[in-house]
Chains A and B, each alone.
Chain A
């Protein structure tokens, strides 16, 4: 018993130390800190949307085409039907984040699985899986996303699935590369000699060591997914029951000259969120790959 606690304690403090180092490195990148602050603000906005705007964002609450700042309580103006743009922005943050995160999880699940299998087992399996990946990279991916959403008919689920399906190949390639190089390392070879199961080695030994680049990539993928979602909505391929920023711009497109605010604010919202995610991604990169960290400055 005594030995266990003894070995746990330094381990914990080592972890704490590593985390502190990570934070310090992350904080050294000022852009990343700014990004993190913006991102947290967006998350907060998404969380408290129902408190800020108790009514549904679809409710027609004022006269249409009210410019921003003109009427108390409607700082962002109203849209073609007299709905509050502010409410749309708040509720839109939710769906953008959900689509961004969930579709990235979908893409990671597919990509990591395929990449890990290909990289670990190699040989024919690797060949087959890589052909499969190349195949998906050959089909123009935005076009494929459009086709998928059109086939499943637009809904939050179909948008998420479509984005997930077109985004996984880079993950698979990245993970495969990491697996290929890690597989020949001593600690993996040792586990193989010790007779540990392949599943155990893949999930417990190698996968944790590939996490850094995957996390960095994931943060950028969320950003891409949000852009992709807005592009689909812009073309009229979004879920009609959820208020999203992409939908708002799509709906504002035809009236952009009468009501610049209708597309301007959601556009800025997307820009800020995507920018924040990119900045955070770079910060994570600096913090997780210290060897390369210096290049940013």
Chain B
């Protein structure tokens, strides 16, 4: 019950944060030079005053700014994100069409990176000072220090162009019309490179964090006691150390999970993955105000949701922590 009240409180707070984000972004994007009418006129290759005025009127950009804001905010509280100017479709449709692709990519990368990262980190901590530790530490550090897009490019170069093993772009083979299992397999093939690239970077972070956190816990009295009592080292690592060392990893995972939605812009760009990050970048360049705000709205909502989930998971892993 207490948990439910807590969650409800957090949700109410979240609504206000979301509104604030919407308003901030509303003004931010309008501070950028140019407007969607000009961009679309520019693309058309020719336009006159009438044409641009028609567009502005159509988009409601001829209204005073505060009226536009009022209209937008009163729509957004009913979860209506409006229409995209450039693509002439409801923003909600565009966003939710792209969201699964991003969630698939980042979710896969996220799970992979957490599993591998924690595993490697734990391994390194258990063998601290040995060559396994050094190797893992160096590898993690190198991936942590490498620009993501650079690895992505190198991966395409090697696996797609030189070796021809994996597709280098897109989410499925267009025109192939696969169905059922073949279609799933097809998407999985396309998923490998981007998910691996994105995952490597996060894996490095988790490995480093797990290792550091475990070493810290190993120094604590209760572990020393367990060791003195003669508990098997493997058991100590598994039961005592990992369980306690996992908390900072969960914290980070919560932050990361939220950022996954917006943070995949680079990966999506290089691999032409039809996700929400790329949608945001295009919307920004085209000054597609509603679409950009919609993407920010949804991805911020995700961040808040994941933060909440993290906190709840926290209490499950460590019952001593109370929600307040």
User: Interface on A for B, CB 8 Å cutoff?
Assistant: 131, 134-135, 137-143, 146-148, 150-151, 153, 223, 227, 230-231, 234-235, 246, 249, 253, 256-257, 260, 263, 267, 270-271, 274-275, 278-279, 292, 294-297
Contact = CB atoms under 8 A, between A and B. Distances in A.
Contacts of A274: 145-146
A135 B17 contact: yes
Interface string B13-33: 000010011001100110111
B284 A275 contact: no
Given A139-B300, A278-B144, A278-B145, A151 B215 contact: no
Contact of A150 (B20, B21, B32, B299): B32
Contacts of A263: 150, 153
A137 B149 contact: no
A138 B17 contact: yes
A1 B24 CA distance: 59
B132 interface: no
A139 B147 contact: no
B212 A295 contact: yes
Contacts of B33: 153
A59 B81 CA distance: 49
Given A140-B258, A146-B284, A234-B147, A292 B31 contact: no
A32 B129 CA distance: 16
Interface in B116-161: 128-129, 141-142, 144-150, 153, 157, 161
A1 B148 CA distance: 61
| Interface residues of chain B: helix, strand, loop or mixed (majority) | helix
B305 to A, nearest CB: 11
Nearest to A275: B145
A35 B141 CA distance: 12
Nearest to B157: A256
Interface string B202-232: 0000000000100110010000000000000
A297 to B, nearest CB: 6
Given A140-B263, A267-B146, A292-B216, A147 B284 contact: yes
A275 B138 CA distance: 10
Contact of B265 (A146, A249, A271, A296): A146
A231 B266 contact: yes
B285 A142 contact: no
> 10 tightest A-B contacts by CB?
A140-B262, A295-B215, A274-B145, A143-B262, A275-B145, A151-B32, A267-B150, A138-B303, A234-B149, A271-B146
A221 to B, nearest CB: 14
Contacts of A267: 146-147, 150
A142 B21 CA distance: 15
Among A138, A249, A257, which residue has the most Cβ atoms of chain B within 10 A? A138
5 contacts: A142-B263, A143-B296, A147-B32, A150-B284, A278-B145
B249 interface: no
Contact of B259 (A141, A223, A227): A141
Nearest to B301: A138
B103 interface: no
Contact of A142 (B128, B216, B265): B265
B246 to A, nearest CB: 17
A257 B33 CA distance: 36
Contacts of A275: 141-142, 145
B255 interface: yes
B150 A249 contact: yes
Nearest to B219: A295
B269 interface: yes
Contacts of A294: 219
Given A146-B265, A297-B128, A249 B147 contact: yes
Contact of A271 (B31, B145, B212): B145
A295 B216 contact: yes
B147 A231 contact: yes
A138 B215 contact: no
